[in-house]
């Protein structure tokens, strides 16, 4: 057996690129299994830096820092979607097992590459992207088919939580919208009539084993995820099977080791389109922490350590409610929300990310409600009420 295929065992260091909440929850999962964690993030007080065993405080392109990380860690993964491909390649060249590698991550980082990928494998996956075209130059503006309007103009890079996108109702508004983004490369996508939104979380091990979690149904408010419900209440069994099949095909075609999330739209007529790929655990997969046998973060640990993947079985129905900085503001003043009112509720499991400064729209934590569907629904509604969540 090749040397590469031996597992990285507990007691060793795992590395994580990016120090946000996803890295923090990854670190908790890794440490619970006896691993040590080294995080690379320029921020001196990042959520992950607070809990990791070592924090290399440097930029992602700092070769000295990458060499230090490579000397400590046998295996590195990423929690930060926009980590430069070169960082992953440099670490690989330094002899580190990098999972996922830059080829998979860079496709998900660029909407043009992502949509092309989804279109290329549409037949095999059984689901493709919404109709779109690429806008790279002024001349492209006149080539856009009328059928794409009303559309959504999205920057190819760096979009998240609804940022970097704008609705364009008519062809004559397009050039102004594109100028508004500084004429960077964009895709114009047809605005679809969504019945609801779902996401599929899948994991692939180094040995090509692929497992899927149950499909989750998502509600966004102001472009930010608000709740995730599992099992997805509006999805038929046939649709779920089709979506899981597509997500598994996607992770294999990307030759991707790790945890990956694919967002899908279910349209009014029942048709399904693939929206985007996140090359890491995802906000809509947080419910797995309390509702599944293996959380998405433990799965990330297992995949990067070349250990067997864990069961993705859902033990009980669940709703995840995101907590934004808005919840900390009462009459313009910052105060700690009344967690005691939430924690009274039997199904509630509170997760906070250790961010000291609440800001409106900033993800501060989430609550996973786990239990019987009706109990979970009631506890979520009650929490929205006691926390004054008005979205």
* Residues of the shown chain interacting with ligand ADP in the complex, contacts defined by CB under 6 A: 130, 152, 154, 159-162, 189-192, 194, 197, 220, 223, 263, 275-276
Residue 12: DSSP 8-state:
B
In terms of C-beta distances under 8 Å and separation of at least 24 residues, what long-range contacts does 122-127 make, across chains too?
124/249, 124/253, 125/245, 125/246, 125/249, 125/250, 125/253, 125/274, 126/242, 126/245, 126/246, 126/249, 127/242, 127/243, 127/246, 127/264, 127/272, 127/273, 127/274
Min CB(263)–Mg ion separation in Å: 5
Q: Which residues contact 11 (CB under 8 A, 6 or more apart)?
A: 34, 35, 36
Nearer to ligand ADP, 224 or 384 (CB): 224
User: Residue 369 and residue 17: Cα distance in Å, rounded?
Assistant: 29
Query: CA-CA distance, 264 to 353, in Å (whole number)?
Result: 27
Q: Smaller CB distance to ligand ADP: residue 14 or 118?
A: 118
Judged by beta carbon, residue 66 or residue 262, the one nearer Mg ion is 262
Closer by beta carbon to ligand ADP, 159 or else 310? 159
Binding-site partner at residue 90 among ligand ADP, Mg ion, none, CB < 5 to 8 Å by type: none
Binding site partner of 130, from Mg ion, ligand ADP, none, Cβ cut-off 5-8 A by kind: ligand ADP
Look at residue 134 and give the partner it binds from ligand ADP, Mg ion, none, a contact being a CB closer than 5 to 8 Å depending on partner kind: none
Q: Please measure the distance between the N-terminal and C-terminal CA atoms of the chain and give it in whole angstroms.
A: 54
> Whole-number minimum distance, CB 74 to ligand ADP, in Å?
32
Give the three-state DSSP class for 365: strand
Residue 220 site contact among ligand ADP, Mg ion, none (CB < 5 to 8 Å, cut-off depends on kind):
ligand ADP
Closer residue to ligand ADP (CB): 197 or 249: 197
CB 113 to ligand ADP: min, Å: 14
Query: Minimal distance in Å, beta carbon 154 to ligand ADP?
Result: 6
CB of 104 to ligand ADP, least distance (A): 17
Binding mask of the shown chain, residues 227 to 266, with x at each position contacting Mg ion by CB under 5 A = ------------------------------------x---
Residue from 236, 388, 377, 265 nearest 326 by CA: 388
In the bound complex, what is the minimum distance in angstroms from residue 134's beta carbon to ligand ADP? 15
Minimum distance from residue 275 beta carbon to ligand ADP (Å): 5
CA proximity to 260, closest of 248, 273, 244, 278: 278
**Is 100 within 8 Å of 80 (Cβ atoms)?**
no
As a whole number of angstroms, the distance between CA 317 and CA 308 comes to 25
Rg, C-alpha atoms of the chain: 21
**Closest CB 23 distance from Mg ion, rounded Å:** 19
Strand, coil or helix: 363: strand
The one of ligand ADP, Mg ion, none whose footprint includes residue 160, by CB under 5 to 8 A per kind, is ligand ADP
* Pairing relationship of beta strands 224-230 and 216-221 according to DSSP bridges: antiparallel
For residues 172 and 219, give the distance between their C-alpha atoms in angstroms, rounded to a whole number.
Answer: 31
Strands 333-334, 165-168: pairing is unpaired
Q: What's the closest the beta carbon of residue 173 comes to ligand ADP, in angstroms?
A: 16
CB closer to ligand ADP, 53 vs 161: 161
Nearer to Mg ion, 145 or 223 (CB): 223
Judged by CB, which is closer to ligand ADP: 325, or 354? 325
Among residues 9 and 113, whose Cβ is nearest to ligand ADP? 113
Q: CB under 5 to 8 A by kind: which of Mg ion, ligand ADP, none does 194 bind?
A: ligand ADP
- Which residues are near Mg ion by CB under 5 A? 263
């Amino acid at each position: 057996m090749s040397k590469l295929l031996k597992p990285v065992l507990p007691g060793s260091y795992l590395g994580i690129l990016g120090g946000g909440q996803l890295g923090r929850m990854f670190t908790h999962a890794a440490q619970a299994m006896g691993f040590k964690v080294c995080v690379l993030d320029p921020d001196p007080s990042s959520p992950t830096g607070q809990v990791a065993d070592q924090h290399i405080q440097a930029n992602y392109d700092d070769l000295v820092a990458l060499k230090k990380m490579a000397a400590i860690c046998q295996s590195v993964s990423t929690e930060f979607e926009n980590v430069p491909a070169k960082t992953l390649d440099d670490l690989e060249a330094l002899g580190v097992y990098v999972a996922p590698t830059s080829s998979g991550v860079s496709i998900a980082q660029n909407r043009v590459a992502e949509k092309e990928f989804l279109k290329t494998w549409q037949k095999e996956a059984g689901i493709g992207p919404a109709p779109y075209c690429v806008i790279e130059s002024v001349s492209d503006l006149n080539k856009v088919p009328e059928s794409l309007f009303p559309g959504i103009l999205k920057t190819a890079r760096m979009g998240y939580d609804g940022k970097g996108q704008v609705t364009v109702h008519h062809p004559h508004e397009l050039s102004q919208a594109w100028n508004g983004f500084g004429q960077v490369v964009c895709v114009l996508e047809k605005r679809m009539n969504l019945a609801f939104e779902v996401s599929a979380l899948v994991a692939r091990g180094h040995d090509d084993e692929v497992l899927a979690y149950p499909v989750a149904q998502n509600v966004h408010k102001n472009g930010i995820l608000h709740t995730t419900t599992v099992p997805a209440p509006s999805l038929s069994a046939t649709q779920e099977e089709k979506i899981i099949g597509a997500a598994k095909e996607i992770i294999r075609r990307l030759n991707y080791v790790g945890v990956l999330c694919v967002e899908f739209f279910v349209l009014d007529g029942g048709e399904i389109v693939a929206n985007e790929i996140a090359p890491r655990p995802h906000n809509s997969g947080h419910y797995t922490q309390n509702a599944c046998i293996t959380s998405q973060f433990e799965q990330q640990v297992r995949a990067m350590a070349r250990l067997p993947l864990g069961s993705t079985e859902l033990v009980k129905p669940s709703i995840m409610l995101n907590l934004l900085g808005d919840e900390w503001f009462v009459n313009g003043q910052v105060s700690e929300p009344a967690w005691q009112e939430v924690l009274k509720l039997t199904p509630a499991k509170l997760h906070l990310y250790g961010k000291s400064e609440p800001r409106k729209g900033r993800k501060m934590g989430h609550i996973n409600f786990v239990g019987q569907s009706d109990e979970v629904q009631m506890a979520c509604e009650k929490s929205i009420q006691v926390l004054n969540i008005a979205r």
